[in-house]
Each structure stands twice: as structure tokens, then as C-alpha cells.
């Protein structure tokens, strides 16, 4: 055991002295590198001037003369081009809800109020699982702000569809009816919502 310690101490001492000797040798030979001046070769770049071509500003062509009178554009009549029926397809279970718009008193054909947003109703799960189809006629009032209120189902093929149709009608948005620059409400607007399951 003592011999093992003596060998390891002797080996450690010889490695240490060897390292110190190598460091001393490196220091002695490196002194000249710090004091000697190193010659650098400098390369001079000479810039050759190019022959530059200066372009003069070209004259712009003259503006064509203004037309004497702009052509008259026919104004589209929104009341004639509006389609009274909208079909909305609902994605998940492949079903279809058709919306037919009709009015009592003042209709869309008068151009007094126009639908902007029609929300498709949510197909009731009970009707979907039973494979039922049907329709609901909803009556509501269009407010001066263009929203709907007081929606009620006045006719339906099955009461299972009424709640979904009323909820959808309350989310409709309209351009309100305007009389003498004031928006007024339109009561008694009717809408037919058809619930169909597509194959």
C-alpha cells in the first residue's frame, strides 16, 4: 500500500516538472515573436472612372382631352332584382333550410325594407334523429335599427321546429323602412323557413 502511494507521488511529481519545463521552453522561444515587427503587404485599390451616360428627362405625352359629358349609367332597381327566396345549406348532418320571405302590408317589392343577414336555423336534434322534415312560418317586427323582435311561429308542420325557427328569425338583420328621412318599424313581416334533410 505504501509502495503504491510512493509510485503515484513520484509519477505526479515527474509529470508536474515535465509540464513546467515545457512551459518554460515555450516562453523562452516566444519572446522574439512579440518584439519582431511583422512586415505586412498593403494592396492599393485604384478606382477607374466609368464613362457615365446622363439621360435627359423625356417630355411626357399630353393628357387626352376630358370627355364632354360622362355617359349615363342606368341605376339598378333593387326591388325588381331581389329574389324573394333564399336557400341556406347547413354542413354537419347535410341538411337544408330554405327561407322564403313574404310580407303583410308593406313588402320587399315596395323597396321599403330589405333583408341584409339571414341566419340559418339550427336543425333540432330530435327531428334529425327521427328523420323529420317540415316548415315554419314566423311573423316578426323589423325595428328602426334593422333588428327583429316579437318573433312568433304562426304556422308550422310540426312544433318541434318552432323554437329553432323563432331563434333564427330573431338574428335576422334588415335595412329599415325609411319615411321622410326617419327609420320606422315594420310590423307583421312573415318568413317561411323550410327544414329539409339532404341525402
The CATH number of the domain holding residue 187 is 3.30.2420.10
Domain for residue 78, yes or no?
no
**Helix or strand or coil: residue 177?**
strand
- Residue 130 domain-assigned (yes or no): yes
Distance between CA atoms of residues 171 and 120, nearest Å = 9
Higher-confidence residue: 60 or 147? Answer: 147
Which residues are CB-neighbours of 126 under 8 A, at least 6 positions away? Answer: 132, 160
Identity of the highest mean pLDDT range in 36-50, 58-72, 135-149:
135-149
Query: Bridge partners of 194?
Result: 98, 135
Q: Please indicate, yes or no, whether the overall pTM of this predicted structure exceeds 0.75.
A: no
Cβ partners under 8 Å of residue 103, min gap 6: 186, 188, 189, 190
Confidence band for 152, pLDDT divided at 50, 70 and 90? very high
Could you tell me if residue 118 is inside a domain?
yes
For residue 66, being part of any structural domain is answered with no
Lowest mean pLDDT among 11-20, 54-63, 85-94, 123-132: 85-94
Structural domain span for residue 28: 1-34
Residue 163 confidence (pLDDT) above 60: yes
∠ CA 18-19-22, rounded to 5°: 90
Comparing 182 with 65, the larger pLDDT belongs to 182
Span 12-25, pLDDT tens digits: 999 999 999 988 88
The tally of domains found in the chain comes to: 2
Cell numbers at 88, concatenated: 341556406
Amino acid at each position: 500500500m505504501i509502495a503504491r502511494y510512493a509510485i503515484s507521488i513520484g509519477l505526479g511529481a515527474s509529470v508536474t516538472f515535465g509540464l513546467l519545463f515545457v512551459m518554460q521552453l515555450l516562453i523562452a522561444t516566444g519572446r522574439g515573436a512579440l518584439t519582431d515587427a511583422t512586415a505586412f503587404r498593403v494592396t492599393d485599390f485604384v478606382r477607374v472612372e466609368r464613362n457615365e451616360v446622363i439621360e435627359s428627362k423625356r417630355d411626357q405625352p399630353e393628357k387626352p382631352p376630358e370627355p364632354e359629358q360622362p355617359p349615363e349609367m342606368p341605376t339598378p332597381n333593387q326591388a325588381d332584382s331581389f329574389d324573394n327566396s333564399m336557400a341556406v345549406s347547413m354542413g354537419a348532418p347535410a341538411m337544408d333550410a330554405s327561407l322564403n320571405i313574404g310580407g303583410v302590408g308593406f313588402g320587399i317589392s315596395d323597396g321599403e325594407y330589405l333583408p341584409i343577414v339571414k341566419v340559418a336555423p339550427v336543425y333540432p336534434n330530435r327531428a334529425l334523429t327521427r328523420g323529420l322534415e317540415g316548415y315554419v312560418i314566423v311573423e316578426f317586427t323589423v325595428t328602426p335599427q334593422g333588428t327583429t323582435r316579437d318573433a312568433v311561429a304562426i304556422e308550422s308542420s310540426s312544433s318541434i321546429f318552432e323554437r329553432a325557427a323563432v331563434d333564427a328569425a330573431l338574428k335576422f338583420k334588415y335595412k329599415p323602412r325609411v319615411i321622410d328621412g326617419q327609420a320606422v318599424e315594420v310590423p307583421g313581416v312573415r318568413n317561411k323557413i323550410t327544414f329539409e334533410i339532404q341525402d
